Amino acid sequence: MVPDRVYAEMTMPQAFMVAEILFGAADLHDLTSPVHGNCPLWCATHQDSRLDAVGRGAFHCSRQFSVEAHGPELRKVDVSISVLAIDAGGQRTLTMELVVAGREPIRLTAAEARQLAVQLLNAVDAHTTALADASATR
């Protein structure tokens, strides 16, 4: 599922839900002002810290959007996505984090999140088509 070979097996509805979350997180990312300053509307966890040389900065994190995936081999694998904004040096850096099975977070851009979502939806379509073809040949 991801470049680090961390993976989760999931049903078609679970893959669809993860894709929907990825699209939504990418939209939140794109709608967030790149201007350092106010807390983003989606901020669920806010931490002021000494992130820059002047001693001012903030870390903003959305709530975690999660799906518990179940496959034939792997069970109860959490797939979580959150949006992050880091304010430091008078600038705001936006990113997303994908966490699979509690492993190290994988940082994604909005474009990468959308690309992953499209790949999941393509897999769902291919599986659906294969099921339909198999039932038509019976």
78 to 26, 28, 60, 70: CA distances (angstroms)? 19, 21, 22, 9
Report which of residues 97 and 137 the model is more confident about: 97
Is the pLDDT assigned to residue 17 strictly greater than 60? yes
Q: Which residues sit opposite 108 in a β-bridge?
A: 96
Is the pLDDT assigned to residue 50 strictly greater than 80? no
Residue 6 lies in a domain: no
Report the pLDDT averaged over residues 110-114: 94
Residue 122 lies in a domain: yes
What pLDDT score does 109 carry? Answer: 92
- For residue 2, name the pLDDT band (cuts at 50, 70, 90): very low
Residue 123 lies in a domain: yes
pTM above 0.95, yes or no: no
- For residue 111, name the pLDDT band (cuts at 50, 70, 90): very high
Residue 1 lies in a domain: no
Question: What is the number of structural domains in the chain?
Answer: 1
Is the pLDDT assigned to residue 86 strictly greater than 80? yes
Token pair listed for 107: 């940082």
Closest C-alpha to 22, from 78, 61, 80: 80
- Report the SS3 class of residue 43: coil
- For residue 36, name the pLDDT band (cuts at 50, 70, 90): low
What pLDDT score does 59 carry? Answer: 85
Which range marks the domain in which residue 72 is found?
A: 12-129
